[in-house]
Structure formats: C-alpha cells, structure tokens
Amino acid sequence: MDWFISLFTRQDTVAHIALLYSIVIATGIYLGKIKIGGISLGVTFVLFTGIIAGHIGFTAPANILDFTRDFGLVLFVFCIGLQVGPGFFESFKKGGVTLNVLSCMIILLNIFVMFACYYIFFDTKDPKNLPMMVGTLFGAVTNTPGLGAANGALQSVFHNRLNFDIANGYACAYPLGVLGMIAATIAIKYICHINLKDEDEKLNATEVENPESKPHPMFLKVQNNYIAGKNLQEITQFLKRDIVCTSIMHDGNVETPKRDTIFQLGDEIHAVCAESDAKAVQAFIGPEIEPQWREEEQKQPMISRRIIITNSAMNGKELGKMHFSSVYGVNVTRITRQGIDLFASRDYRFLVGDRVMVVGHEDNVNQVTEMMGNSVKRLDTPNIATIFIGIILGILLGSIPIAIPGMPAPLKLGIAGGPLIIAILIGRYGYKFKLVTYTTTSANMMLREIGLVLFLASVGIKAGAGFWNTVVQGDGLKYVYTGFLITVIPILIIGVIARVKFHFNYYTIMGMIAGTCTDPPALAYASSMSSHEAPAIAYSTVYPLSMFLRILSAEIIVLFFCGI
C-alpha cells in the first residue's frame, strides 16, 4: 500500500501532480453541473474543489502551481481572442455602438462601486485589503480572465514580497455574483413595468434579418433602354450596388453571364442582390417575373454547389479580384460564415472555414471547388503553429515595460493582456501575414476549457491553505456582501437607462448584461426566458469589448492603485 499512499503524499512526483489536477478538475466539473433553482456554477466549481484540496493539504510545489496557472491562463485568454477577433471591430457598427457604450458604463460603475466599498467598509491602511477587493470585483462580475490578469499584475508589482490570495475574495463573491445578475435583471422587469408577452410580440414584429446583408434572389426582365447594348460590368458600376447574375435567357438559350455579357431588351435574368437593394435593382433593370424557363434552366448542365474554403491560399482574398465569372464562368451567389448568410459583395474577403455557394457549369464548378479546397478533413486539423506563434508574440507584447512617472513599477500588459490583444488582431488580420486562424468550434472550446480548468485548479489549490481563515476569521463576510453590491448596483442603473432612455427590448438588455459580465449562466437564463435570439445577439455584440476591458482594467487597477 506504500505505493498508493505515496501517490497522494509525495508532492515532487509527476504522478502525484497529474493525480492532483485530475481529481480536482473532474470533481469540480461534475459538481458544477448540479443545479440549484435552475442555476449551476459550471466549470468555475473547479476553483472551489481546488480550494478544498489545498485546505486539506492535497497540494503540489508552488513553482508547479504557478507555471500551470499562468500557462492555463495564456491558453484560455488566447483562444478567447481568436474566437472574438473576427467580430471585435464589427461589434461597434450601428446599434452595437450603443450597446457597447452601455456595457462600458457597467464596467466603469463596477470599478467605482468596488472602490466605494473599499473606502467605506475596509481599513485602507492595510496593504492587503485593496488587492483582495480586486479579487472580489472579478468574482462579483464572474470574470475569471480578469482574476488572472490581476494576479499576474500583482506579482509584477510586489515580486511575491506580499502574499495576496486574491482568489479568496473571488471565491467569496462569485456565487452571489451569478445570482445577483439574474436577480438584478428580474428587478429591472418590475422597476420598468415590463410585460414579457409584449416584448415577445415586439420581437415577432421587428426581428428580421439585416436587409443589407440578406441575399435576395429574383427573376427580372430587361426593359430599360439604357441597359440595351451594355455589359454586366458596366451595369453593375452604374448601379453602384452589388448584384450577381447567376443565369440569363438570351435568344432562347440559358447561359452563365460573364463580365462582358451584353444585355438586350427582353432578356430574362436570374439575379441575386442585397434585400435592401432589390427595389432599386428592379426599377433600373425591369420588373420581377415568373419565367417559363425556370424548369428548363434546371435541365441545363449547370449546377449550384456549396463549397467550404479549406485552401489557405484563399485566406484574405477579395471576391471582386478573383474574377470568378470571367475566368471560371461561375458566379458566387452567397457566403455563409459562422452560420450567417451574407451577400457576396465585391469587397468581401474570404477566410478559411467560409461556406460559399457557386453556380455554373459542372466542369467550371469543379475547378473552383479544387481551388477553394472543399476538404472537410482539413478543417478538423487545428492550425497549431498559428496558436503558438500568437502566444509568442502575445508574451513579448505583454512583457514590454512602459514607464509611467510616479508608478513603482513599469506598466505591462502582462501574460493576459498581451496574448489577448495579439489573438484579436490575428483573428481579424492574420490573413495579411499568411496566418490561418481557423479552428473548429469544438477545437477552440477544448483548448479554452483546458486552459481555464488548469488555471482555476491552480489558483484554488494555492489559495486553499488560507481560505478558511479568510472566510471565518477574516473579512470573508464583507467580501460576500460587497461583491453583491458590486454586481447589482451597476446592472440596475444601466439596465433602467437602457430601457427608459434607449428603449431596448428587455431580452436584449438581459443579453447585454450577461455579455458585459461574460457570464454564460446569465445568458442561459436569458435564453430560457425568450424564444428569440435577441439575448444571444446582444451577448455576442458586447462580449468581445467587455472581455478585453475586463482584462485590461484588472491590470490598470493593480498597477495604478495597488502599487501606490
């Protein structure tokens, strides 16, 4: 039995360390699935099982815990950046601007309430209280990357001269943070006298796809004398709108039009344009018709095929410069990215993973298919090199010291901020440097979750030794109720403003709040309340910027205030 006992007692063995992390992570994940009142803590429960393990002395050497914690954080944050990168800058467009501004206001109010609680309830002369309140802040808003960023920043400021287990503050505030978000959103419903049935009816009346990006197919008859004798390229340039002609009936023959195809009066065309441009295109070309040759067109040796872009050479290519119709004799009618149908505009840039609908003769379509790749197996292979190149650049960026007068240590983005910024930039602009950033959703989630559980387990195990004293003999109760205030007050204020001032739908407000706190349980609750996608859309709109600001604000608070 000595061999069995040594597995749990000899901390310097690989077997002990692997066993420790496996037990903590597996137990935490299973316990996190338990729902109380329909709410579960999810993977974050790994932190609490780690605390229990550390408290009973089931632990590992400090240097192993530190390395695993930091590497898990880098992997987690980088995968988040890759996920949100393509939509990060687009989230500021149109209605997303207002939602992101409201989201930023919640983040600022969270910080303001945290400082207010610190000065009202705690001894400001104790150097440990402010760092612990930072941990409480990120537990209150359920943001684990922010905890990691603050932890890393504290190490760079104090170089382990003081032992800050800010995970204790995080753990005290987290459970009520989850409940507080849901309770605050329910309170907004009653404060603003919201009727859920009315909200559903409004969504039913207004929830339509974006007419500027939704493809609209139609058959038209050429009746404009100005068009007669002009080719497709000239017509498109004059319209100043993107339009794709998939086929044309000319002199009794159905063919695929090219850039130099001449239009004549009486020609009948099958065209695709953005839904918002449909009336203008009809007014310019001619009326919409129901052609007799639709069935005949289907008998022609022409096919439509959905092609998956898997060839890295296509990454970042601009549709208008590919000359599909003139060179290959096919037309691209629509593109699907991440499940959303997009109109094939000339300035669209392809990314690996896009699904493209093309129309043309079978031989030509086969040529385009070969050029684009269309190999599903390639998508199943993650681009490991891009991930580690990005991590290298992220760590280098995060390590650059920025000297600021009056600060005890130079400002650094750290191992959380640097990789996050690089991942966002690579996810959006990586194609310019021949970097393929596409990973399947399952692959990204796997890497991200592995990084997260390694980080949570390490933080919990290390903090476990002092957790009981913090909760029972220390200020644990203060961290609980101040965390609740940090959660609830900003949500109530901004939620009411979003409703009264900007008249956002209640389900949109719920999604915005969940996205601002980057809290999946809150999103799950909002989604269970609504049969529409409004919560998820609002969540994804504010999530990228919120995640970035949560991580960056953690480092700024620590470097500017905790180091004073």
Classify strands 243-250 and 268-274 as parallel, antiparallel or unpaired.
antiparallel
Provide the Cα torsion 70, 72, 73, 75; round to 10°.
120
Rg of the chain in Å (alpha carbons): 28
- What is the pLDDT, as a whole number, of residue 340? 54
Beta bridge partners of 331: 359
Provide the Cα torsion 538, 539, 545, 548; round to 10°.
170
d(CA 236, CA 242): 7
Provide the Cα torsion 76, 81, 84, 89; round to 10°.
160
Q: Quick one: DSSP state of residue 263?
A: P
Q: Write out the chain's pLDDT in tens, 564 residues.
A: 677 777 777 777 888 888 999 999 999 888 888 876 666 667 778 878 888 888 888 888 888 888 888 888 888 778 877 766 665 665 565 557 889 899 999 999 999 999 999 999 888 888 788 888 998 999 898 887 788 778 777 776 665 545 556 877 887 887 778 778 888 998 999 999 998 888 888 876 664 444 555 667 788 988 888 888 888 778 877 877 767 777 788 877 877 777 778 888 888 888 877 777 888 888 888 888 887 765 554 455 567 788 888 777 777 777 877 767 655 667 787 787 655 556 676 767 787 778 888 887 776 787 788 788 887 666 666 678 888 888 999 889 888 877 766 555 566 667 777 887 888 788 777 777 777 666 666 777 788 889 888 988 887 887 777 666 666 666 778 888 999 999 999 999 999 999 999 989 998 899 899 889 877 667 667 766 776 667 866 776 787 788 778 878 887 888 777 655
d(CA 509, CA 533): 12
Beta bridge partners of 303: 360
Q: Which two tokens stand for residue 423?
A: 């991942």
Q: Which two tokens stand for residue 156?
A: 């760079």
Q: Which two tokens stand for residue 180?
A: 């507080």
- What is the pLDDT, as a whole number, of residue 485? 95
Strand order in the sheet with 355-361: 302-308, 355-361, 330-337, 340-343
- What is the pLDDT, as a whole number, of residue 209? 47
Residue 48 C-alpha from the chain's centroid: 26
Instruction: Answer whether 432's CB lies under 8 Å from 454's CB.
Output: no
- What is the pLDDT, as a whole number, of residue 294? 58
What's the sign of the alpha-carbon dihedral 21, 24, 29, 32? negative
d(CA 441, CA 298): 36
- What is the pLDDT, as a whole number, of residue 562? 65
By residue count, the chain amounts to 564
- What is the pLDDT, as a whole number, of residue 89? 64
Instruction: Answer whether 494's CB lies under 8 Å from 109's CB.
Output: yes
Q: Exposed, middle or buried: residue 468 (CB in 10 Å: 0-12, 13-18, 19+)?
A: middle
Q: Which long-range contacts (CB under 8 A, 24 or more apart) does 126-131 make?
A: 127/162, 128/162, 128/164, 129/475, 130/561, 130/562, 131/164, 131/166, 131/558, 131/562
- What is the pLDDT, as a whole number, of residue 207? 47
Q: Quick one: DSSP state of residue 381?
A: S
